Chain A
Amino acid sequence: MKHFSLILALLVAPVAAVAQDENVVAGLSQNTVAITANFSGSEILIFGAVERQAPAPEDSILGVIITVEGPDRGLTVRRMDRRYGIWMNTEAVEIDSAPTFYAVATNAPLEDILSDVEDDALDITINRAIHAYYIDSDRPQDFIDAVIRIRENEDLYQTLEGAVQVRSDTLFDTSIRLPSNLVEGDYTARIFLTRDRQIVADFETEIEVAKVGLERIIYNLAHERPLIYGLLSLFIAIAAGWGASAVFRYIRS
C-alpha cells in the first residue's frame, strides 16, 4: 500500500505541477460575426498570453494550437464511377457529423507539438473533427479525405501550421479568415498550450455568427411564414415583369 501511493504520487506530481505552472488568457477581436447583405467574409484576430507563476521551463518548447470550429452537420458523400460509359454516383456514405467550418492554426508543425493521444481525446486536427462511427465502404478514409479536400478548396477547412506568432515565449496571436460562404450558428474557438506534445492548458470561447438586418428578415420569413414568403416572391416577380414592360412601352411611345 505504501509503495502504491508512492508510485501514484510520483506519477501525478509532475503532471500536476506542469499543468498548474502555465495558464492561458486570451481574447478575440470580435465575438460576433454579422452576416449582412454585402458580407464577403471576415477576419478574426485571436490573441492571448501565457500566465506563469514560475519562469518558463527551458527544456521543452511551447506549443500553441488555436482552433475555430463551426456548427456540425451530417453529410452524405457520394463517389462517382464509370458505368455503361457514363459517370454516375455509384457509392454513397453517411458521415455522422462534420464541422461546417474548421480552422486549426499552430506555431509549429503539429506532429512536433501534439501527440496522437491528445489529438484523439480532444479532436484537434481536421481529420479528428469529422466523426463517422461507421462507414459502409471498402475504403472509408477516401470519403473523409474527399470531404477535407473539397472543403479545403472552398477555404472552409484550413490547416495553418506556423500561423501563430509567439513572442518572448509569452504573447501569441493569429488571425483566422472566415470565408463568405459561412453557415450561421455558434462557432467555438479553442486555444491549447502544449509542452512535450502534451496539453498543459486550454481556453475556450464562443463566436456567434448570425445574419442581421434584411438577411435576417428574409430568412425568418421564408422559414416561419413560407406561404406568405412564396406569395411575396411571386408578387415581386410579377410586379417586376409588369414594371419592365410598362417602362419599355413608355420608352417606345
Chain B
Amino acid sequence: MQIYLPIAEVSVNAFLLLGLGGLVGILSGMFGVGGGFLMTPLLFFIGIPPAVAVATEANQIVASSFSGVLAHFKRKTVDLKMGFVLLIGGLTGAALGVQIFNLLKAQGQVDLLVRLCYVIFLGIIGGLMFIESLNAIRKSRNATTTVPKRKSRGWIHALPFKIRFRTSGLYLSVIPPLLVGLAVGVLSAIMGVGGGFIMVPAMIYLLGMPTKVVVGTSLFQIIFVTAFATLLHATTNFTVDMVLAVLLLVGGVVGAQIGARIGVYLKAEQLRILLALMVLLVCGKLAFDLLVQPSELFSIGAGGGH
C-alpha cells in the first residue's frame, strides 16, 4: 500500500515503513539504543530526503524509547538520579551540537563529516565492545573459579562532588556523567541519532555501571534529548513528517516491547557481543561506501540562498 508523506513529499510503501520500524524497535528494546544509527541510513536508502529522515527519526526514537523505558521501569532497572545528571549534560551538548552542525553546514562537506563520525565512532565502539565481550565470554567458560578482580579506582574516583547512585551501586563524582552526557549530546545532534550506541558503552566502561541498569537509564535519557531535537527540527526546519513518524513508531513501539523481553533472556555478554557485531556491520557498510566509487558521482541538493 503506497502512502504519500506530506512533509517528505514522496510516496512510499506503508508496510515497508512498519516493517523497518518493527525491526529497529526490537533492536532498540534489546540493547537500549534508540536505533537511529540504523534507521537514519535506512531511510536515506528508501528515498526519504536526509533532512526529513534525521528530524523524523528523532521523533520516532522518542516513541520507541518511551515504550522501552516503561518496561525497564517495571523491572526497576532505571537509575533516575544518573539519568537526570546525564540529561543535564545531554541537553547542553545537543544545543551545542546543533550550533556546530550549522557551522559545518555553512562550510559544505557536512555529509562527509557525518559519515566520518559514524565510521570512526561505530568502528571504535564496536571493536572495543566486541573484544571485551569476547574476552568476558571466554573467561566465564575457561576459568570458572577465578575471583573477580576488584575494580581499579582511577582518576575518576578522585574527582569532587561525589553523589551516591543507589540503583547503580556507585559512589561517583557528578563530573564524569555530566561530561559523558555532554559529549553524547554533541555527537547525537551532529549525527542525527539518539546516541545510545555511544552512551551505553560509555556508561559501562567509563562510569562502571552494571549492564542491566545501563539500558533503561540510557533510554530514559534519550527520550528527553531526542524530544528536544524534534522540537528544534520542527520549529526551525519544518522537517518532521508526522505521517512517516506514526508509521515508523507503530512498528517501533511494538518491536521495542518484544525486544525488551528478548533482552531479559540473554546474558549481558551475549547482549554486548550482538550489539558490537551490529555496530561493526553498519560501520563496515558506511566505510565501504566511502572507499568504493559510487555509481552516480553527482548529487542534487536544495538551492543556496538566491
Contacts and interface: CB of A to CB of B under 8 A. Distances in A.
5 contacts: A77-B299, A87-B290, A222-B7, A230-B235, A248-B71
Interface in A205-253: 211, 214-216, 218-219, 222-223, 226-227, 229-234, 236-238, 240-245, 248-249
A96 B306 contact: yes
Q: Is the interface of B mostly helix, strand, loop or mixed?
A: helix
Contacts of A245: 66-67, 70-71, 253, 257
B45 to A, nearest CB: 15
B304 interface: yes
Interface string B277-300: 000000000000111111011111
Given A241-B63, A241-B70, A245-B257, A236 B300 contact: no
B135 to A, nearest CB: 32
Given A75-B300, A151-B300, A243-B253, 17 more contacts: A37-B4, A39-B2, A75-B303, A86-B112, A89-B111, A94-B306, A146-B297, A150-B298, A150-B299, A181-B10, A181-B47, A214-B6, A234-B59, A234-B230, A236-B249, A237-B66, A248-B71
A150 B47 CA distance: 13
A74 B240 contact: no
Nearest to B56: A233
B160 interface: no
Nearest to B67: A241
A73 interface: yes
A180 interface: yes
A74 B303 contact: yes
Contacts of B227: 234
A7 interface: no
Nearest to A228: B234
Contact of B64 (A149, A233, A241): A241
B65 interface: yes
A173 to B, nearest CB: 27
B38 interface: no
A52 interface: no
Nearest to B14: A38
A55 interface: no
Given A181-B11, A226-B235, A244-B254, A232 B242 contact: yes
B235 A88 contact: no
Nearest to B73: A245
A116 to B, nearest CB: 26
Nearest to B255: A244
A86 B227 CA distance: 34
A34 to B, nearest CB: 11
Contacts of A230: 230-231, 233-235, 240
Contacts of A214: 6
A65 interface: no
A240 B250 contact: yes
Interface string B245-262: 110011001101100000
A181 B3 CA distance: 11
B64 to A, nearest CB: 7
A143 to B, nearest CB: 7
B66 A40 contact: no
B298 A226 contact: no
Across the A-B interface, the 3 shortest Cβ-Cβ residue pairs = A74-B303, A230-B234, A241-B66
Interface in B1-55: 1-4, 6-7, 9-11, 47
A107 B227 CA distance: 55
A82 interface: yes
Interface residues of B, number: 60
Interface string A47-74: 0000000000000000000000000011
A31 interface: no
A230 B11 CA distance: 22
B12 to A, nearest CB: 9
B246 A240 contact: yes
Nearest to A182: B9
A238 B66 contact: yes
B304 A237 contact: no
A77 B301 contact: yes
B158 interface: no
A237 B4 contact: no
Contact of B240 (A37, A75, A182, A229): A229
Contact of A183 (B9, B109, B238): B9
Contacts of A77: 298-301
B231 A227 contact: yes
Nearest to A82: B293
A172 B227 CA distance: 56
Interface in B212-236: 227, 230-231, 233-235
A40 B11 contact: yes
B66 A215 contact: no
Given A240-B250, A241-B66, A229 B242 contact: yes
Nearest to A146: B298
B224 to A, nearest CB: 11
Contacts of B60: 237
